[in-house]
Structure 1
Amino acid sequence: MGGARGRRSPPPFLAVANKTSNPLFRGLQGTNFASAGSGILDSTGQSIIPMSKQVEQFATVQRNISARISPQAADSVLSRSLFLISTGGNDIFAFFSANSTPSSAEMQRFVDNLVSLYTNHVKDLYVLGARKFAVIDVPPIGCCPYPRSLHPLGACIDVLNELARGLNKGVKDAMHGLSVSFNGLKYSIGSSHAVVQSIMKHPQRLGFKEVTTACCGSGKFNGESGCTPNATLCDNRHDYLFWDLLHPTHATSKIAAAAIYNGPLRFAAPINFKQLVDDQH
């Protein structure tokens, strides 16, 4: 949930939830409900905070804001707040770990289930007062260093990328349908998928020299383990698309943020994040 100003990310929910003078409960500060990682499914990973839990935590915030500044004022604050959702990749990796060679039917059932749950979570947030949804789609995760390290030839893992594309399309269609059916619901889908594809296709044009191997890690593509104290570290992380086996570098995130916030329809649609923020209607 957005509301905070400044360049720092909002604090994690549990770090501020118990503060009696919490500006979050006065609608003056944002918070991160998924600071340990997010999942659409409740079953995705022990360290992942599922969206259902995040919605429960937000319901607590909504009740506290209403109690402190009146329900009407709370509605006004929440309708102007930005709800940033970036999830799905962890669910896909968990599915792949359990079944690395799924059939087309199994993949479709899995994606359909994710989209259905995702849609229900957005509906729940809408009922609680959310109106502006900034969605970030799933990048081509099959091209991360970790999946590449699993491929005999070091290529991208097609199954992971196909699942990402399927989920992205399903969420895109679902958000459009919700915007038609729910009064006042506005959204933008920022395409990290398109940004990463652009970097991989034209790395030097965007200032990158290495788009397959991680800056920090070990093994093939530095993708066989995480960035630990004993890992191999690159000389200049700004030259790299990937920081570790799964995550982008700061340089990558900076380009993605600029493209999604104030870029063309290719990177954010049907409007970009700036237009969503500035929309006062």
Structure 2
Amino acid sequence: MGFRRSPPPYLAVANKTSNPLFRGLQGVNFASAGSGILDSTGQSIIPMSKQVEQFAIVQRNISSRISKQAADSVLSRSLFLISTGGNDIFAFFSRNSTPSAAEMQQFVSNLVSLYTNHVKDLYVLGARKFAVIDVPPIGCCPYPRSMHPLGACIDVLNELARGLNKGVKDAMHGLSSSSEAYLLIDAKVQSFTTQNWCAGFKEVTTACCGSGKFNGKSGCTPNATLCNNRHDYLFWDLLHPTHATSKLAAAAIYNGTLRFAAPVNFRQLVDDHY
């Protein structure tokens, strides 16, 4: 989008007098490590519900300094990028690694319902453009592979990811059809690790940094094993992609075809060509 770096974190700008949304229009980052759709997921104190609450504070802040009409205009043209759900699935799997079909369906349905409610709350606060990134096949990350006797992907994790992605996609399309104000993009990250897209990487199963089987037994600590060229690797550590992977994914979502983002790519949404 032309910015030198990612948007600043919310807590770094929350107390400043000039709101970052208007200082160069670079936006705000509400993300939190370990965050999830469920408040109980991970050890984060900023799950998605709290992130929405923080945005509500920003929205009130803006409206108090300028007219509500002007604030609504800025927010309606802003892109709301949402990427969540993977941590929730891992947390569920850690409690029940062999769930029944009914248990999986109930869990996914609950996640989709909460996800949808969060998006509705953002809409009420002025959001109109939503870019929703799906959950990749997390069962194929080095960490889950390290737990499999044969080093294969963990199918349960991938099935949960597919179920969540489909449920969120259907829910978002339902919102879009009920109001023309919703502009929604489905970013299909699943494509990146399940097709020939990753053929350019020399290593797609073992992490660049870690320890144990597939370098997936522990994180990237000072004593971990480190690869010689991280650009050859799909995965940086036991769960996260390398910079090279993320760069390709970002380019595909932003400028790519319907294979990677639908019904339009991010650039078209940013440029209002929708």
TM-score by length of 2: 0.96
Residue identity in the other structure for 2:123:
Y
Secondary structure, aligned partner of 1:84: strand
**2:262 alignment partner, one of 256, 266, 269:** 269
**2:3 matches 1:10:** no
* Distance in 1 between residues matched to 2:236 and 2:153, nearest whole Å: 17
Query: Residue in 1 aligned with 2:98?
Result: 101
Deviation at 1:219, TM superposition (A): 0.3
> 1:8–1:60: structure 2 CA closer, same or farther, 3 Å change rule?
same
**1:133 alignment partner, one of 130, 133, 137:** 130
* Distance in 2 between residues matched to 1:27 and 1:41, nearest whole Å: 33
Please say if residues 44 and 91 of structure 1, whose CA atoms lie closer than 8 Å, have aligned partners that are also in contact.
yes
Between Structure 1 and Structure 2, how many residues are aligned?
274
**2:53 alignment partner, one of 56, 79, 87:** 56
Secondary structure, aligned partner of 2:74: helix
* Distance in 2 between residues matched to 1:95 and 1:33, nearest whole Å: 24
Deviation at 1:25, TM superposition (A): 6.4
**2:117 matches 1:124:** no
**1:24 alignment partner, one of 21, 26, 40:** 21
Query: Residue in 1 aligned with 2:237?
Result: 244
**1:76 alignment partner, one of 62, 73, 77:** 73
Deviation at 1:69, TM superposition (A): 1.5
What is the CA deviation profile of residues 242-272 of structure 1, one whole-angstrom value per residue up to 9, with x for unaligned ones?
0000000011111111111111111101111
Deviation at 1:53, TM superposition (A): 0.3
**1:174 alignment partner, one of 156, 171, 176:** 171
* Distance in 1 between residues matched to 2:20 and 2:36, nearest whole Å: 27
* Distance in 1 between residues matched to 2:2 and 2:250, nearest whole Å: 16
* Distance in 2 between residues matched to 1:214 and 1:268, nearest whole Å: 27
What is the CA deviation profile of residues 71-120 of structure 1, one whole-angstrom value per residue up to 9, with x for unaligned ones?
00000000000000000000000000010000000000000000000000
TM superposition outliers: structure 1 runs of 4+ over 2 Å = 21-29, 35-38, 201-204
* Distance in 1 between residues matched to 2:57 and 2:24, nearest whole Å: 13
**1:226 alignment partner, one of 210, 219, 224:** 219
TM-score by length of 1: 0.94
What is the CA deviation profile of residues 38-79 of structure 1, one whole-angstrom value per residue up to 9, with x for unaligned ones?
310011011262111011000000001111121000000000
Secondary structure, aligned partner of 1:78: helix
- Root-mean-square deviation (Å): 1.6
Runs of 5+ unmatched residues, structure 2: none
More divergent stretch after superposition (128-137 vs 28-37): 28-37
**2:256 matches 1:254:** no
* Distance in 1 between residues matched to 2:83 and 2:4, nearest whole Å: 18
Please say if residues 212 and 218 of structure 2, whose CA atoms lie closer than 8 Å, have aligned partners that are also in contact.
yes
Residue identity in the other structure for 1:40:
I
Residue identity in the other structure for 1:222:
N
Residue identity in the other structure for 2:219:
G
* Distance in 1 between residues matched to 2:133 and 2:214, nearest whole Å: 26
Q: Percent identity?
A: 84
> 1:76–1:280: structure 2 CA closer, same or farther, 3 Å change rule?
farther
Secondary structure, aligned partner of 2:130: strand
Query: Residue in 2 aligned with 1:212?
Result: 205
Secondary structure, aligned partner of 2:21: helix
* Distance in 1 between residues matched to 2:133 and 2:89, nearest whole Å: 15
Residue identity in the other structure for 2:27:
G
Please say if residues 3 and 26 of structure 2, whose CA atoms lie closer than 8 Å, have aligned partners that are also in contact.
no
Residue identity in the other structure for 1:214:
A
Residue identity in the other structure for 2:151:
G
* Distance in 1 between residues matched to 2:218 and 2:181, nearest whole Å: 45
Residue identity in the other structure for 2:269:
L
Query: Residue in 1 aligned with 2:33?
Result: 36
* Distance in 1 between residues matched to 2:154 and 2:14, nearest whole Å: 40
* Distance in 1 between residues matched to 2:33 and 2:14, nearest whole Å: 16
Query: Residue in 2 aligned with 1:45?
Result: 42
Query: Residue in 1 aligned with 2:159?
Result: 162
* Distance in 2 between residues matched to 1:118 and 1:102, nearest whole Å: 22
Deviation at 1:18, TM superposition (A): 1.0
Runs of 5+ unmatched residues, structure 1: none
Deviation at 1:28, TM superposition (A): 2.9
